Chain A
Amino acid sequence: MNTQADFMHPERITSSKATEATESRRTAGTGSRTSFWLGVVTSIGVAGLAALGFFVVPADDVQGDAVRIMFVHVPSAVGAYLAFGLTLLGSIMWLTRKSEWWDILAHSAAEVGTLLCGLAIVTGMLWGRPTWGTYWEWGDVRLMTTLILFLIMVGYLVSRSAFGTADPVSTATKAAVIGIAGAANIPIVHKSVDWWADRTLHQPSSLTDGKIEDLTLLTLMFGFLVVGLFLCWALIHRFRLGWLERELYAEELSEALHARRLEAAEEDRSRS
């Protein structure tokens, strides 16, 4: 197993073209042609979803207009869990492969996932007020599990920033441990809240009981697509940002190495 991180390739370190590379990268962003068009499609999708959700789909017999929140709420909740799945995958792969690629994936997915998770919780609260008559229902399983998951991921992000960037290997390992420990406990969190909640208000999935109308179902599916596109688009950008950070780190390091070697060579010459 190779425990040395990729960003420390000797050829990158000894490269004297470091400053040149930095220049070119300073002008480089996190986008590309693909991600640009992906962003455009996502934006159109968001607009389309809003139009469908607000104007085309009729109000629900039971829930009234509140049903429209579902088109954002359900896909973003699913997207959040998906992203956290990627964080778990990235964490495991970092610990086994020690390749920075996986660590950046874990970090990116955690950030995007936390955003979606927050969106799911907020939309859920907005939906809960008119439907259940309360913003927050302590007795609801999915709500509480999602909240705990959200808090775990906030902890993950907070500690990552507390660990700092001075030692990416150590930061990645600690973060991976948090990610894996967090994911391992989610089923137990779910079980505990399941038993704890005396009363569950949450919708038993409306998708499976066949009561949902065709147009509503279609819009919900479209919502999944749009959130999926957003997830991809945000992940690509966040991943590239992480990658650029590592490149910058590697370059700063190679400059520091270069400076130290120069110092050594000069002092050695002056002595002899």
Chain B
Amino acid sequence: MQAVRFLDGVVLAGGFPALAGVDLAVEYGEVVLLQGANGAGKSTLLGACAGFNKLASGTAEVLGYNLATQRAEVRRRVGLLDHTIALYRNLTAMENLQMWARMARIEAVDIEYSFDRLNITENLQKMPIAQLSKGQQQRVALAAIIARRPEIWLLDEPFSGLDANSRELLFDVISEAAQAGATILIASHDTAISSGCDARIVRMIAGVVVDGKPAVGQSTILR
């Protein structure tokens, strides 16, 4: 069984086939780099893997759960980081994550650990999300993922808008997760990404995966 499996997956966005029949298989523990131009469907694919975008036709499974019928199960088991941020603007970082931890049955110490890990200071924790910069907001959203330690990490342009230090930090966090055996899908224009972990490059064009088959020799991309 694979962590992610798409067979002719079609996802619509406002009546437009954002994913036009995706075939993709990702093994457990694999690190996949999704590449492609704007509008190629990378974000939609990640959103579908996270259980947010509806599957219009085809079959797709994430962690063995059917994306057509069991999206609620998927949503609770994966971590998605994308431009929506998905945090309440008028609550502080701490309030957002504490509330979420109570719903998701996650220990408070795990939240503290992730704030520590991402250098989110106490001052920052007490500020409403609306007052944080885009990069800071993204770090708070990432903190939630770290606290959950999901089996699949779905990162949509995680490096955009980050300063050098934060990028460094994110590299470390991702490689840690990869070493711990998590399956990671990263969508990025950036070609130089991974910090020494093996990554498979998957190219998307016009809503279709053009070479999703496992590469013969996996390429190690160095930053």
Contact = CB atoms under 8 A, between A and B. Distances in A.
A/B: CB atoms within 8 Å of each other: yes
B57 A13 contact: yes
B8 A10 contact: yes
A256 B10 CA distance: 12
Interface string A2-39: 11110011100100000000000000000000000000
A264 B207 contact: yes
B14 A8 contact: no
A268 B202 CA distance: 13
A171 to B, nearest CB: 11
Interface in B56-101: 56-58, 68-69
Q: Chain A: interface residue count, which band?
A: 20 to 34
B167 interface: no
B17 interface: yes
Interface in B6-47: 8, 10, 12, 14-17, 20-21
A264 B14 contact: no
Interface in A247-272: 253, 256-257, 260-261, 263-265, 267-268
A97 to B, nearest CB: 13
Interface string A147-166: 00000000000000000011
B56 A264 contact: no
Nearest to B56: A8
A8 B68 CA distance: 13
B48 interface: no
Nearest to B54: A169
A3 B16 CA distance: 19
Interface in B178-223: 203, 205-208, 210-211
Contacts of A62: none
A4 B205 contact: no
Contacts of B8: 10
Contacts of B208: 260-261, 264-265
Given A166-B15, A267-B205, A4 B57 contact: yes
B15 A167 contact: yes
Contacts of A167: 12, 14-15
Contact of B210 (A2, A253, A264): A264
Nearest to B209: A264
A5 B12 CA distance: 12
B207 A1 contact: no
A263 B206 contact: yes
Contact of B207 (A8, A10, A253, A260): A260
B21 A257 contact: yes
A9 B210 contact: no
A105 to B, nearest CB: 22
A120 to B, nearest CB: 37
Contacts of B10: 8, 13, 257
B54 A10 contact: no
B142 interface: no
Given A1-B69, A253-B17, A260 B206 contact: yes
B14 to A, nearest CB: 5
B55 interface: yes
Nearest to A262: B206
Most chain B beta carbons < 10 A, residue from A1, A8, A260: A260
A165 B15 CA distance: 8
Given A4-B57, A4-B68, A13-B57, A256 B206 contact: no
Contacts of A165: 15
B3 to A, nearest CB: 22
A68 B45 CA distance: 64
Contact of B20 (A4, A166, A264, A268): A264
Interface string A164-180: 01110100000000000
B38 to A, nearest CB: 14
A96 to B, nearest CB: 13
Interface in B137-169: none
Contacts of A268: 203, 205, 210-211
A20 B10 CA distance: 23
Contacts of B57: 4, 8-10, 13
Given A2-B68, A10-B57, 16 more contacts: A1-B69, A2-B69, A4-B55, A8-B57, A10-B8, A167-B15, A169-B56, A253-B17, A256-B20, A257-B10, A260-B206, A261-B20, A261-B207, A263-B205, A263-B206, A267-B205
Q: Across chains A and B, which 6 residue pairs bring their CB atoms closest together, nearest first? A: A166-B15, A260-B20, A8-B57, A264-B208, A264-B206, A263-B206
10 contacts: A5-B56, A8-B57, A10-B8, A166-B15, A253-B12, A256-B20, A257-B21, A261-B206, A264-B205, A268-B211
